[in-house]
A and B are shown apart, each in its own frame.
Chain A
């Protein structure tokens, strides 16, 4: 306790130097929060966007559907799986969907694309990006058997307007080509050309009938969570529920959207690496300060040791100084970071003029507004890392202080 007081007093003897050093630690906190929080926000955003583009945070499907997503691979009891999933805490929605490839024709032209067959009674704009970005018309209702919702780019390519006919051709469970007729009830525009030109929403009942599916069958059940970080635990619970069912598998978004998970992984790795490197530069600064103050106090240490202080206590004294510096730096860091964080968490920086609103990564649209969000574990991680870095920076000066003998130290004065 006495050592801690002494360490604090030493720091306060050269206030300017201590404050500048603490400020460099605080700057490290600011930087780390900026990197991590912008990442946490952007990743959460991308994961959620990718989820509402079709597969959800978790998808329950036929074990072979992920490798070759053909329409003969289906879940027979999709509706029952949905009911099961909805009982798990953390699950906000579960949607039964058929997803597959089809050829779309309007008038004399045709294009290939992906269809998502949905149950209009279950779907909401909150869990379906296409319903959220409607620019004309609306989603087909339950009674509207032949309604379809197409992307703006496809509508342009096929000269489609509301009420126009759209013929779609797909391969049924027997490998035969089947065609069905729909009418455009809505047009969406997400901003991503390949999505707006290649995705069509169809009524689940119509597609089931066309493909010859059983009344409760579907390609997958897309499950949405409160927080994407719960994906693994909900997967575990769901897998236990479904343990007895055959030909069924649960995939987290990392497994079903491996492109995106990979991109996020690399981005996060780079961010950590950069934070670590900047941390090393800051640590060098702290070491420099402590080393200086140790060198200046050689005579003082000599007197202390002559009065009976053990070398170990001197080492501890200097380590405690770096500890105080770390605490001071963290407090200062919180003070300077909070206003910046609050601004970025609520308002954010709008980069839409620079990168536009149609920038995608891993097939997912990226929000052009940079905002902050910090997971609790990230915040703890930053605090822990900054504090340990400060302590590590104190080790060399501490041992330097404890190594010399009292007589030599006294002579130096």
Chain B
């Protein structure tokens, strides 16, 4: 108790120095809280774009379709499968795929035709709300299609323009049809941007002569808290004759990127705090060395070495605590502000920039999580704790007589 009292009193003795040290620690910690929130926000944005726009949390295919996509490798009895998934607490939407050639004016490009279930797709992805120009697909407009952004550029297409599609239908005949561009998507992912050509599933079935079956079922958990791997196992057991993959398996590069960013946050913390550590060390060293005679007197009066050690540690921990509160007071509101007012990088990032094939959002939000607040503060205590060891030990081991005469 006495030690704490001493430590508290010492806090106020060299005010300028104490406050510069506390200020620098608080500043670094506040910056790191903000940085961590920004990183969490970036990751959440990437995950939302990758998983929520196109990939879905899980995908189900007929065996062999992923390795070698083929119009004929379909999941049969899809109504049954969808009903089964619904009973097990999953939301699902079927998709149909084929490749073809689209031509408009003097340009042509290979495309990936996609038949979309207009009622179910919005339940699993937010693609319908991600239209850049024009509108999303509509049941009453069977000849209206939505295309990827880069594809629109390659073909010189605008909303309302006509585009011809040639493809090989399931019966071997040449499917040839005229469509009208109803909408152009915002940047989603490299594949969709470059070759996505979306139409209502009824149109797809009629054009490609595929009356039954689907190529892909995109699935989402109804309870987002359920563990991804456990849900994958549950799905695989439910549909033993199909290929079930979660998004981490479908996009391993992205999954690795997410794992890496936790490490990169820790590295950033270590680097920034190393500077704080040196600063704290220097400040504490100064405060210990100018008080050597004082410590000598304290020891001569019966203060134990450990008591002195504890007092100096308590002193610095007190400073760190003040710094942590200051950092919270600045970093938290800052991060919360930017969680509703995104930082806009659209001047820098092209609307079609991608990382690991996933579209990069030009607007970055902060996401404040337990991790992004607690980790920087925890690290601050750790670094300051390490920095104090040397000066505190030095003081603890002083010889009283020599210390009193120290000048």
Contact = CB atoms under 8 A, between A and B. Distances in A.
Interface stretch (B86-94, B204-212, B216-224, B275-283): B275-283
B103 A156 contact: no
Contacts of B99: 109-112
B352 A259 contact: yes
Contacts of A361: 354-356
Contacts of A177: 101, 103, 108, 166
A355 interface: yes
The A interface, classified by DSSP as helix, strand, loop or mixed, is helix
A356 interface: yes
A70 B151 CA distance: 12
A31 B70 contact: no
Nearest to B352: A259
A359 B286 contact: no
A104 B110 CA distance: 8
B134 interface: no
A171 B108 contact: yes
Given A71-B107, A101-B109, A284-B20, A112 B101 contact: yes
B168 interface: yes
A278 B272 contact: yes
Contacts, number: 193
Contact of B282 (A104, A263, A288): A288
A360 interface: yes
B96 to A, nearest CB: 16
Contact of A281 (B253, B275, B355): B275
A274 B111 CA distance: 42
Contacts of B16: 291, 295
Contacts of B84: none
A72 B260 CA distance: 45
Interface residues of B, number: 69
B350 A259 contact: yes
B307 interface: no
A363 B190 contact: yes
B57 interface: no
A104 B68 CA distance: 15
B101 to A, nearest CB: 4
Interface string B62-78: 00000111100000000
A237 to B, nearest CB: 27
Contact of B278 (A27, A171, A198, A355): A27
Contact of A285 (B24, B252, B260): B24
Interface of B: 16-17, 20-21, 23-24, 27-28, 31, 35, 67-70, 99-101, 103, 105-112, 153-156, 166, 168, 190-191, 194-195, 252-253, 256-257, 259-260, 263, 268, 271-272, 274-276, 278-279, 281-283, 285-286, 289-290, 345, 348-350, 352-357, 360
